Amino acid sequence: MGGDGDGENLKMIFVPRQRSRINYKGILANIFLPTLLFTTVFWVMCFKVHYVSPNLTWFVVFAAFCISALTACTAYSRKEDDEEPSWYTYAAGAFFVASITATVFGYYVFFTETIKFGDYLTLNTYAAINPAVNVGQTVMDSGRVYFSHGVVLDFQKTAGFKHGDTYCVVPISHTTQGQMDKLATYDFWAVGVNCCEEPRKFHCGANVMNPQIRSGLRLMNADQLPFYRLAVQQAEAAYGITAAHPVFYHWTQDPLMQIYKHKENAVRFFLIGVFVFFISNFVCVITATFAFAKMGRF
């Protein structure tokens, strides 16, 4: 009883299984296509496209998530037909991860580096500014300012306002025959954070003591402005001076180089991001390949 069935089962045990053929197209597609999607979205989020055309940028992001959703639907339909859904399922997940990570990290790079680079280039550049002659209202749209000969930092009027960090200010003044001029209004200020701990000591920025440095890069951090204004008010009260329309600068030897550092940082973050995503996805694809091999399908 049941002899024929037992014999057939016994025969099947000794029949060698047909080897699963490796789906090279699926493996290669899942190595390169998610990386391509990540690179596209990351590039659009990081660079000039986002600055000049934010609507186009978010359309690209939306399209990336649509690709993820469409791939997920394809994976589900093939699973219903039981037609080797594994690589489609992996692709849907990889596309989604690529879209969300590129959007998040691209947004971060844009607002920490690219937007500053773009804003500085859209602001005006002023040369030969003399605090003894010019007032803050004349350079309210400045991004870079190159001061005239004889302009120095008046370290004796350094002030700092402490709010967690110490927000340091020092007036940008002018000397005549080696003597510090007394200005009608002290509108130009060099600034920095946590660099004036000692009284009347200001060491914000590299080589700030170098008398050859006579240029400033406009402060762009709006969150810090109220604290620097409070520091200026302290300086006014302490030194009996007036600052009618204060404007704030980072004291630097080469403002243009500092501006282009933001672009260099954005490019570096972009290349690192693409490399890290490619390697991570490559490792995941290889891991998935072995996992699918154990399941008997590629």
pLDDT digits (tens, 9 = 90+) for 251-261: 999 999 999 99
The pLDDT mean for the chain works out to: 89
Average pLDDT over residues 144-155: 94
Residue 96 lies in a domain: yes
Residues 137 and 248 in one domain: yes
Residue 48 lies in a domain: yes
Residue 245 and residue 131: Cα distance in Å, rounded?
A: 12
Residues 177 and 84 in one domain: no
Average pLDDT over residues 108-119: 95
Average pLDDT over residues 141-158: 94
Residues 84 and 42 in one domain: yes
Residue 103: exposed, middle, or buried by beta-carbon count in 10 A (0-12, 13-18, 19+)?
Answer: buried
Average pLDDT over residues 55-66: 97
Residue 3 lies in a domain: no
Q: Which domain holds residue 145?
A: 125-253
Residues 97 and 163 in one domain: no
Residues 29 and 96 in one domain: yes
Task: Answer yes or no: is pLDDT of 16 > 50.
Answer: no
Residue 47 and residue 113: Cα distance in Å, rounded?
A: 9
Question: Which amino acid, residue 253?
Answer: Q
Residue 16 lies in a domain: no
Residue 149 region by backbone torsions, left for phi larger than 0, else alpha for psi between -120 and 50, else beta: beta
**Between vectors from CA 10 to CA 9 and to CA 16, what angle results, nearest 5°?**
95
Residues 176 and 239 in one domain: yes
Confidence of residue 17 (pLDDT cuts 50, 70, 90): very low
Confidence of residue 6 (pLDDT cuts 50, 70, 90): low
Residue 100 lies in a domain: yes
Question: Which amino acid, residue 251?
Answer: W
Residue 12 lies in a domain: no
Do the Cβ atoms of 82 and 95 come closer than 8 Å? no
Residue 193 lies in a domain: yes
Task: Answer yes or no: is pLDDT of 138 > 80.
Answer: yes
Task: Answer yes or no: is pLDDT of 5 > 60.
Answer: no
* pTM of the predicted structure, to 2 decimals: 0.82
Residues 104 and 178 in one domain: no
Query: Bridge partners of 124?
Result: 142
How confident is the model at residue 84, as a pLDDT?
A: 53
Task: Answer yes or no: is pLDDT of 208 > 60.
Answer: yes
Residue 27 lies in a domain: yes
Residues 141 and 204 in one domain: yes
Confidence of residue 67 (pLDDT cuts 50, 70, 90): very high
- Rounded to the nearest 10 degrees, the angle between the axes of helix 86-109 and helix 54-80 is 160
Q: Which of 109, 102, 157, 98 is nearest to 131 (CA)?
A: 157
Task: Answer yes or no: is pLDDT of 105 > 80.
Answer: yes
Number of domains in the chain: 2
Residues 133 and 117 in one domain: no
